[in-house]
């Protein structure tokens, strides 16, 4: 079974996003998947990319990992301009009845909550509208779901975790209670937008400063779809913007099915390589030969150097977009017209 994974550059300066494609083929034909679409411009680039390099306008599945605009907005271009066979995404409004009791406003109705979700979560609502108009089936992904004879396995979120996260989406009405802190949900009192001056500390292969404490909590990120592709003997894990807790749950889901995640061929590192989304414990469970980070070309914190070091320390070769497209072919041969990607080096100094 042959495959190639492509990560397209998203954004400029310090603003980035995620846009990826996966093509799988053998003598019987091919499958094409799109995993997140970045911005509108990224979506247009995805359409051109698939038509040029995959010689098709058919996409077997478009996967929206979570509703943030830097991942979801470009997918409208793919849905509008390609023959999409399925849209894989969560539909928050369909969970209104089950989660209404979790909001502080006890007078909130199911219809009111559905309306609010559609209005505020505009990117995924727009995807849903396009899918309905074009009669594209919409599939909600939850842990344990298996498709295409095991080629695709959803490792997270569970339905329970997803519904627990929904009341804490920043655009929805206020939740009655804060989420229970766990390994990955360590809520800090600092405001995420306020950045202190960067302090640098030394690291070696034996000294690691990355911790399991995570950082700023985002329910949208924590409810990201975590999806595993198994292509022959190769496993590829896409993580969206999943946080530590979500990744730990995904690892537990995989273990319950007898699937190891410490022998991945390729890991899509969550949230542009942020130090808030991974820690030593989860990286000891999820290891890959190659680790890809979708990061903007000029960001002071993405990817975090301590994350790069942590991945290298565990045997990964680390690569990043940072303004350029990156292709990972199963045969290791660089695509004509593309350049071999440079491996990220180990850093002697990292952000504190």
Residue-range domain boundaries for the chain:
2-351
What CA–CA distance (Å, rounded) separates 327 from 266?
12
Partner residues linked to 236 by β-bridges: 229, 266
**CA angle 113–119–121, rounded 5-degree value:** 95
pLDDT band at 197 (very low <50, low <70, confident <90, very high): low
pTM for the predicted model, two decimal places: 0.92
For Cα atoms 189, 190, 194, give the angle at the middle one, nearest 5 degrees: 160
| More reliable by pLDDT, 188 or 283 | 283
**Structure-block tokens of residue 172:** 């929805």
Given a contact cutoff of 8 angstroms between Cβ atoms, the answer to whether 83 and 57 are in contact is: yes
What pLDDT does residue 171 have? Answer: 82
pLDDT tens by residue, 107-156:
789 998 888 888 878 889 999 999 999 999 999 999 999 999 999 999 99
Identify the CATH homologous superfamily for domain 2-351: Ribonuclease Z/Hydroxyacylglutathione hydrolase-like (3.60.15.10)
| pLDDT value at residue 346 | 96
Ramachandran assignment for 56, one of left (phi > 0), alpha (psi -120 to 50 degrees), beta (any other): beta
How high is the pLDDT of residue 297?
A: 83
Is the pLDDT score of 25 beyond 70? yes
- Rounded to 10°, the helix 110-120/122-133 angle is 100
CA distance 130 to 43: 14
Average pLDDT along the chain: 90
Lowest mean pLDDT among 72-86, 90-104, 238-252: 90-104
Instruction: Say whether pLDDT at 195 is over 80.
Output: no
How confident is the model at residue 26, as a pLDDT?
92
């Amino acid at each position: 079974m042959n495959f190639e994974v492509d990560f397209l550059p998203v954004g400029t300066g310090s603003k980035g996003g995620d846009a990826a494609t996966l093509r799988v083929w053998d003598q019987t034909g091919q499958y094409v998947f799109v995993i997140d679409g970045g911005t509108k411009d990224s979506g247009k680039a995805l359409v051109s990319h698939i038509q040029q390099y995959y010689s098709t306008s058919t996409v077997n599945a478009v996967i929206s990992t979570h509703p943030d605009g830097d991942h979801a907005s470009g997918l409208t271009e793919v849905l509008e301009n390609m023959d999409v066979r399925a849209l894989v995404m969560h539909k928050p409004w369909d969970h209104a009845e089950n989660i209404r009791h979790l909001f502080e406003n006890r007078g909130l109705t199911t219809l009111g909550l559905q309306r609010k979700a559609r209005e505020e979560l505009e990117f995924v609502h727009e995807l849903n509208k396009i899918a309905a108009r074009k009669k594209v089936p919409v599939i909600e992904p939850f842990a344990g779901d298996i498709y295409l004879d095991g080629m695709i396995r959803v490792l997270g979120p569970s339905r329970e975790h997803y519904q627990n996260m929904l009341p804490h989406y920043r655009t929805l009405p206020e939740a009655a209670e804060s989420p229970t802190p766990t390994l990955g949900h360590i809520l800090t009192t600092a405001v995420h937008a306020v950045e202190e001056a960067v302090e640098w500390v030394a690291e070696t292969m034996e000294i690691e400063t990355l911790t399991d404490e995570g950082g700023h909590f985002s329910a949208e990120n924590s409810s990201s779809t975590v999806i595993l592709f198994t292509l022959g003997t190769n496993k590829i894990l896409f993580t969206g913007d999943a946080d530590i807790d979500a990744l730990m749950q995904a690892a537990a889901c995989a273990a319950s099915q007898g699937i190891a995640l410490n022998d991945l061929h390729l890991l899509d590192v969550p949230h542009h390589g942020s130090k808030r989304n991974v820690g030593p414990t989860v990286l000891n469970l999820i290891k890959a030969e190659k680790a890809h980070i979708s990061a903007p070309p000029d960001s002071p914190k993405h990817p975090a150097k301590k994350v790069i070091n942590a991945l290298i320390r565990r045997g990964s070769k680390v690569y990043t977009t940072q303004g350029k497209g990156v292709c990972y072919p199963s045969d290791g041969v660089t695509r004509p017209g593309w350049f071999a990607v440079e491996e990220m080096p180990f850093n002697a100094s990292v952000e504190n």
